[in-house]
Structure 1
Amino acid sequence: MRAAVLYGTAGSMLLTALVGAPASGQPAWPDPAGSAEMRGTAVAAGRAAAAGIRFGKCAKEDDAPGTLRCGTVTVPLDYAHPDGRQIKLTVSRVKATGKDAKNSKRKVPRQGAFVYNPGGPGASSMRFPLVGALPKWKRIAGAYDLVGYAPRGVDRSAPLSCQDPKRFLKAPSQAPTFPSESYKKERIAEAKAYARGCAQRSGSALRHYTSLNNARDLDVLRAALGEPKLTFMGASYGTYFGALYATLFPSHVRRMVFDSAVDPDPDLIWYRSNLDQSVAFERRWADFRTWVAKHDDVYGLGATPEDVLHSYEKVRAQLAASPAGGKVGPAQLQGAFLDAGYYDDYWPQRALALSAYLKGDPKPLIEQAGPAPKAAAAEENSNAVYTAVECNDAPWPTDWRTWDRDNTRLARVAPFETWDNVWMNLPCAYWPVPRQKPLDVRTLPGALPPTLILAAERDAATPYEGAWELQRRLSGSVLVTEKDAGTHGIGGGPNQCVNGYLEAYVLVGRLPVGSAGCAPHAEPKPVAPGDRSKSAEKSEKSSSSESSRGSEDSTGSQRTADSKTTRQAP
């Protein structure tokens, strides 16, 4: 299996033994060049090109600095019927500054629109264009209009909902590492009810929230922006429908960046990719504990990864008996530390919260892991889109015994994330609308311009071998690896080597000859107890916002962008 290279013999043998294949015989929705959906996309793109996008003031929550401009683009709900029901996608833009980042008096030519998607499914990039003010993005912002958007179903773009947001955030709650049979039955009932709620709240529209339609929407957005060819950067799940776009519309591609690539192998979408992801998070969870143990003099959580795990499990047991502040139980604890699997910038504050709790101060943990009622509606919407897209995209096992067998085995070697992944995706076992057959992503030599793939070697949300698979399938693509690092989403981040390759490609189309590697970015510095400074808190917040680029994760994000409730894709 694909986890073998990174995750060792035990994980590889186990995944190979998980033979529960997704249910077959589901209706396939192929997308050959002459299909009704492709013809419908051409019709919609023609209309969008003629109409353009009327940019004006944004909603206050999208435009805190007052520099964004927003508009909408109209797309068909069903591309097979382009004259049927239409939906509007919200779009944001900051126009190219035309300035050189090092010499403000020097003008640079505009190169068009640079469209970004942060992943999910269920994440928005409406605030992404604001990154142009950051030093790492100024050169790109000088040459490109930075464009973000809310994909179909997200935020104000024909929003999806599967349940009352007030019921979505349940806290405190349990999250047993090895669930009992009675607990499993409770979660099965919840998954069935959630799937029914998606159908009841969305009706016949539910089946049209898919990755293929996200790719088609992207082509209509390209046309509405007046761009004959697309310049696009997708992160996490954004790499998957970006790869679908490259397969369906290779002649419409100018430049494409795939940051933290989803493995596009149709056999993995999406059930098996979640199994791989659970193994990858176990490795990243060990990386975090190793770092904490290295700084035992600061946190006092243990001098070995095993000791740190004991401290974590001690907190988990105490929260199960008495939730912190009546808000934080084991599930909230696990969600907070899952974020640390995405971004190592979280490591100092998460370790500090654990240390403080064991010393009698629960406030840092409550602040970091407690539910945010004001975000309930947005998180419920994001989760609904994530579920609809992944359930619609591909066949899933419909027999609970398959899920139970595969994940019971997997949890023996990867307990940290396995069952959380199950509960996140289990509605797909009881999904009430037809599933698609995933498109076989691949391009012929010369059909697609050279593209850039960025990947961190120890990424948990999108395991590294997926980047190799994407490179194999997209002819002419080049892979740049951040070695011995695991941050999810590395473009525009702290690694200057990675950013150099990104800028060279986006600004002048230059790629390295063959694959290239970058040394890892520096590990985070520990934060001492009592030093919960504004700078430390700012570091965590900026890490999240920069990494998700206005989102995520998920799939995310399969968590801020893309935790599993704001999930980055697998």
Structure 2
Amino acid sequence: MTTYRRSAAFIALSVTVATTALTGAATPPAHAAGALPALDWRPCAESGGPAAQECADLPVPLDYRAPDGPQLTLAVTRLRSDRPSARRGTLLVIPGGPGSSGVQRVTQKGEQLQRETAGQYDIVSLDPRGVGGSTKASCGLAPEDREMVNLRSWPAADGSITENVERSRRVAEACARNGGAVLRSLTTANEVRDIDRFRQALGEEKLSAWGSSYGTYVAAVYAQKYGRHTDRLVLDSSGDPDPSRVEQGWLANMAVGADDRFPDFARWAADPAREAEGLRLAERAEDVRPLVLELAARLDREPKESTTAGVPLTGNRLRQAIQLALYRDSAFGRLAGLVQEARDASVKPVLPAELAGPMPDQDAAVTVGVICNDVRWPGNIPSYRRAVAADRVKHPLTAGMTANITPCAFWKDAPVDRPTRITDEGPSNILMIQGLRDPATPYSGALKMREAFGDRARLVAVDHGGHAVYLGNGNACGDSAVTTFLTTGKRPERDTYCAD
């Protein structure tokens, strides 16, 4: 679910690293059983980020059922209010993913968020377990199994999933063999516990939060479990919180999201303004979709050599490039250029960086780990074959990937925590904001989150395409609704709509 290219790898590390991290913390520090340690803040400004950004390390139990046992380390960050007299609390930025960095998110958005909220908050975040500067996990996967088009289960050209089954089994076995206790601890439930430990270390009674993409689910679970410690919560681009499916449902919903969003690209690519740029794909918007589907089918039959040695442009790489480009209007040009290069016999296409090589092993481990640890996935292989066949007919843009088997079908360890059911019980302090044409967390799924919250939430629907809304796509109406809520606590009296 992504912020988001790594979150796009959600189904979009060496063993030594994970073992060392655990071994080094085998003897818990003296503070583990008693009071939380003071956070030792240090400057950590990066180029292009806030000059006043600070970082620290937060110890957390590997297993909260054994709080005095081994500890992990989380990288945490803070941007203190630049107007102390106006400060009213602390705002937690919850990144997407699974697999995105909260520290990086504050580097990217901290100053803008500080301006929007007029210094009313200290802005904080953390790198979840397995991410960024926090303790890592490893599955020790072969490079080919870390390719985005392989880690995400794109079926073969003929719709077969035999190779997907073999790879999913291989990945699950590698994670079971190499991941250890750190990998098993990568769950939404533990991220929520870690957030509350961070709150306590900050000395705050309550947290406000802005969660994006997968971070909306983390925020929702936190609101359900620690409602008395919540202040003002913004859920930006939410998925269906159905506790029986969780990430499996999010993956399936991406087929709907692609169908919702692709017409935006088609209109852009058929606009006469693209002619001078060499990016106009068709004279009519309705011709763009069949054009790219036919091109993908041709690349299935005859992959085309790219500028990356040994990595051809295949039909599935083109389909994955489409998925990535639908997240942002600014990526439309790159996608149209790739299509034009694929159609030109004299040109070698330039692959997007995300598709030109394998993901780092640690990134692959955290994305697979969280989705497989959160909930048990079905293991019936014939049922996946049937689902893929149906999905390829109904949703050709995603060609069965969103219904396909993943390593979770062969995961060795049962979930430790039952997924949390989101309900209408708790403070009425949640504002949801959602684009109508979101390729990753479609509007139809967000409505399920809205329904679960009942009167606890209000929903601002924004007539815009792409993934993530607040401070992300230039919609003044949507940005104003969120900023007003964060700075005054006022929500719309009822669900509302913002035109593009």
User: Which of the five TM-score ranges fits, normalised by the shorter chain?
Assistant: 0.7 to 0.9
Q: Which residue in 1 is equivalent to 2:313?
A: 329
Distance 1:179-1:61 versus aligned 2 partners, 3 A rule? farther
Kept after mapping to 2: 8 A contact 1:240/1:261:
yes
Tell me the CA shift for residue 64 of structure 1: 6.7
Distance 1:158-1:439 versus aligned 2 partners, 3 A rule? same
Distance 1:62-1:162 versus aligned 2 partners, 3 A rule? farther
Q: Which residue in 2 is equivalent to 1:499?
A: 479
The code of the aligned residue for 1:419 comes to: G
Q: Which residue in 1 is equivalent to 2:25?
A: none
Kept after mapping to 2: 8 A contact 1:121/1:382:
no
Q: Distance in 2 between matches of 1:45 and 1:62?
A: 38
Q: Which residue in 2 is equivalent to 1:478?
A: 458
Which one of 348, 356, 362 corresponds to residue 381 of structure 1?
362
Q: Which residue in 1 is equivalent to 2:352?
A: 368
Distance 1:477-1:324 versus aligned 2 partners, 3 A rule? same
Matched position secondary structure for 1:142: coil
Q: Distance in 1 between matches of 2:354 and 2:429?
A: 45
Matched position secondary structure for 1:492: coil
Q: Which residue in 1 is equivalent to 2:41?
A: 55
Tell me the CA shift for residue 422 of structure 1: 4.7
Q: Which residue in 1 is equivalent to 2:250?
A: 273
Which one of 176, 179, 186 corresponds to residue 199 of structure 1?
176
Tell me the CA shift for residue 345 of structure 1: 2.2
Kept after mapping to 2: 8 A contact 1:301/1:355:
yes
Q: Distance in 2 between matches of 1:352 and 1:247?
A: 45
**Is residue 2:139 matched to residue 1:162?**
yes
Q: Distance in 1 between matches of 2:209 and 2:110?
A: 19
Distance 1:178-1:123 versus aligned 2 partners, 3 A rule? same
Identity of aligned residues (%): 28
Runs of at least 5 residues in structure 1 that lack an aligned partner in the other structure:
1-42, 99-106, 521-570
TM-score normalised to the size of structure 1? 0.73
Tell me the CA shift for residue 334 of structure 1: 2.4
How do 1:289-368 residues align onto structure 2 when only pairs under 5 Å count? 289-295=266-272, 297-298=275-276, 299-313=279-293, 315-316=295-296, 317-318=298-299, 320-325=302-307, 326=309, 327-330=311-314, 331-359=316-344, 362=347, 365-366=349-350, 368=352
TM-score normalised to the size of structure 2? 0.83
TM-superposition CA deviations, 1:156-202 (whole Å, max 9, x none)? 32212223474455499899766447x52222111111011111222
Tell me the CA shift for residue 304 of structure 1: 3.1
Kindly indicate whether structure 1 or structure 2 has the higher relative contact order, using CA contacts under 8 Å at least 6 residues apart: 1
| Mean CA deviation greater in 141-150 or 220-229 | 141-150
TM-superposition CA deviations, 1:400-454 (whole Å, max 9, x none)? 111111121121010222433356x61010001013532211142xx31421101
Kept after mapping to 2: 8 A contact 1:335/1:369:
no
Q: Which residue in 2 is equivalent to 1:396?
A: 377
Runs of at least 5 residues in structure 2 that lack an aligned partner in the other structure:
1-30
Tell me the CA shift for residue 251 of structure 1: 0.4
How do 1:230-309 residues align onto structure 2 when only pairs under 5 Å count? 230-295=207-272, 297-298=275-276, 299-309=279-289
Distance 1:75-1:335 versus aligned 2 partners, 3 A rule? same
Q: Distance in 1 between matches of 2:153 and 2:242?
A: 31
| Mean CA deviation greater in 221-230 or 294-303 | 294-303
| Mean CA deviation greater in 497-506 or 347-356 | 347-356
How do 1:454-493 residues align onto structure 2 when only pairs under 5 Å count? 454-474=433-453, 475-483=455-463, 485-493=464-472
TM-superposition CA deviations, 1:477-507 (whole Å, max 9, x none)? 1111102x22211011211111111111111
Kept after mapping to 1: 8 A contact 2:470/2:479:
yes
Over aligned residue pairs, what C-alpha RMSD do you find?
A: 3.0
Kept after mapping to 1: 8 A contact 2:79/2:110:
no
Q: Distance in 1 between matches of 2:347 and 2:114?
A: 38
Distance 1:504-1:355 versus aligned 2 partners, 3 A rule? same
The code of the aligned residue for 1:82 comes to: P
Matched position secondary structure for 1:257: strand
Kept after mapping to 1: 8 A contact 2:378/2:409:
yes
**Is residue 2:195 matched to residue 1:214?**
no
Distance 1:511-1:303 versus aligned 2 partners, 3 A rule? same
| Mean CA deviation greater in 388-397 or 328-337 | 328-337
Q: Which residue in 2 is equivalent to 1:437?
A: 418
Tell me the CA shift for residue 338 of structure 1: 0.9
